[in-house]
Structure 1
């Protein structure tokens, strides 16, 4: 039996999965209605701005999860090695070991990306910045920290695409493991910080 959605927030995860599977352009109101169990009128009641407002709500939800679970712990890391390990574990679980596409990345690549460009840019910029901050806390100089952070974020995104394209979840896990090693190696090369 389908759960009855009584609040706007209840619909967001169902909407996200439709956008992940069909993209922004391919996510018809019929598909969105079916996934949420809401009639089109109820969808518009919750989201008067239509599909664009639905996508904004989904992106805000993703941003909130990443801000809380990924970005803030990196930015406030007392133990950088533990923070990057936690990031890798959480990202692996979030993308379900490569089986779940990165909606932010997908939207950024297609024509609807222009509509959501500021939010997409902010997501990737904050992730890179948070990693840089964590690496700097470990003593990694800014320039190499920026390079490593860009490579790690692009490696994670590329791993998702490659795993989906090849139908090989193990490829995602291998690449994620290498990104984790890159981060830990950079941290380990730094002399211990004096208290």
Structure 2
């Protein structure tokens, strides 16, 4: 099987345990692959596994978030569509954000640059919509940053409280707050 076959499983493991906690033993058990097979598919080890998951996430964000934000149409509707897709991706607030998790522990220095690019692209896409609506560039950029702060913060709070309600509320209210 291609290594991409294992991405959903790896995504789940890294979301649950983080980079440091997702040991090769746990990865082997979850994927059904022995350690030798893991290194056959991922010669770069755990770093390559995370890079493969990040490749998947970048494609998903491009197709499901950035493209939606770049389409023609009413800004509020595009922002709502982004929020609807985020609700699906994070299982209505029941799943944490992998990119945030990768900024913790020993993975921070390894994956920071990729996470930064993902976040900046997302902020820029939101800012672009707000500028289309007539907002000044600096304010639009700040609001794009505030949007990610709100999204990420609500995911962290939902995980910390074991209650997805804060994330759900943010997804419902964010388009109106931004516009």
Q: Max radius of gyration: which structure?
A: 1
The whole-number CA distance in structure 2 between the counterparts of 1:80 and 1:180 is 8
Which structure ranks higher in relative contact order (CA pairs < 8 Å, sequence separation ≥ 6)?
A: 2
User: Shift of the alpha carbon at 1:74?
Assistant: 1.0
| Alignment partner of 1:154 is 2:149 | yes
- Residue of structure 2 aligned with 1:114, choices 100, 109, 122: 109
Please name the residue that 2:75 is paired with.
80
Q: TM-score, normalised by structure 2?
A: 0.95
Residue of structure 1 aligned with 2:45, choices 40, 46, 50? 50
Question: What SS is found at the alignment partner of 1:168?
Answer: coil
SS in 1 for 2:103: helix
Partner of 1:167: 162
Residue 32 (structure 1) aligns with:
27
Q: CA deviation at 1:135?
A: 1.4
Match of 1:134 among 129, 135, 149: 129
SS of 1:100's partner is coil
Matched, 1:178 2:141: no
- Structure 2 gaps of 5+ residues are none
**Aligned-residue offset at 1:36:** 1.2
Match of 1:67 in 2: 62
- Structure 2: distance between partners of 1:77 and 1:14: 35
Tell me by how many angstroms 1:32 deviates: 0.7
